[in-house]
Amino acid sequence: MKEKFVAYIKNLQNEITSALEEIDGKAKFKEDKWTREEGGGGQTRVIENGNVFEKGGVNISEVFGKLPESMQAYFGVKDADFFACGLSLVLHPKSPMVPTVHANWRYFEMYDAEGNTVDSWFGGGQDLTPYYLFEEDAKHFHQVCKIACDKHNEGFYETYKKRCDEYFWNSHREEARGIGGLFFDYLKSSVASAKDDKNIVTEMTMQDWYNFVTEVGNSFLECYLPIVERRKDLSYNEENKNWQEIRRGRYVEFNLVHDKGTLFGLKTNGRIESILMSLPPVVQWKYDHHPEKGSKEEKLVEVLKNPRSWV
């Protein structure tokens, strides 16, 4: 399974970066191959200062070795080895009318002292962080996510949409990072936990989970690119750009305070440039900032404080 998923993410990285270069029309991805002293490595691809994308990265990694003590305590194991691979992307557009997007699809294995596989699972998802709320865009993003989920279980979308809202929650601000999408983790061979109103429960093998996770990964470009096309040429002013940079600050806060992927990368001696690639290039923190009453900025904040159903 690990060889199969590594091959998948390598191909997906090529597909996504090619499509993003085409829609940007100016900037190209710079590729940076790296190795990890303890085992493994990856390919970081970064795009900067384009027509559409101010900064973004589409990274793949394949790392393995002894699980650090801090992570052994986290997983409740002793003397374990691990293998982890995945694709992680974040795109920060230049225009505040185009949303930031994040996605990640990953696979993990854990081994005992004899090298036997004692656990394995998939995780990932995709979520949207707009600076100005276009309901048409939110509905499109979620509709494509739902279509991908429904092919495997009619309860998956509702379950993983809810988990996304819960996970990407800046608890210290009492608001969501964005308008959500999908988030799933610890997908293992077992009865699926997702249930819809019809009480549908599905027996899922690791091959079934692979099919589901890759379905979601394959849906990413359809989720995001139509939104970019609709918004990239809209006009904006300095006030709009200031708002974007203030909201980017909340994005940074989540990634550095709450995000488990950032924590895992730091705890396993990951490559710091690749881990912090997710941070936007220009950010503002204004003391006790609140948008004007009745403004488009306030409309966004109200939705972030009270996550909605979009489909």
Active site residues: 102
**Nearest Cα residue to 101 out of 147, 53, 60:** 53
Instruction: Write out the two tokens for 93.
Output: 């557009």
Give dist(CA 19, CA 224) in Å, integer: 11
Helix (H) or strand (E) holding 236: none
Maximum C-alpha span of the chain: 63
Per-residue b or e along 152-189, where b marks 16 or more CB atoms closer than 10 Å to that residue's CB: bbbbbbbbbbbbbbebbbbeeeebbbbbbbbbbeebee
Tell me how far CA of residue 308 lies from CA of 62, 120, 215, 300, in angstroms.
36, 33, 24, 12
Alpha helices in the chain (DSSP H): 2-24, 69-75, 135-150, 156-167, 206-231, 238-257, 260-267, 272-275, 296-305
Give dist(CA 51, CA 211) in Å, integer: 35
Give dist(CA 86, CA 140) in Å, integer: 25
Side chain identity, residue 25: G
CB-CB contact of 72 with 297 (8 Å) = no
Give dist(CA 160, CA 201) in Å, integer: 14
Residues near 136 by beta carbon (within 8 Å), at least 6 away in sequence = 230
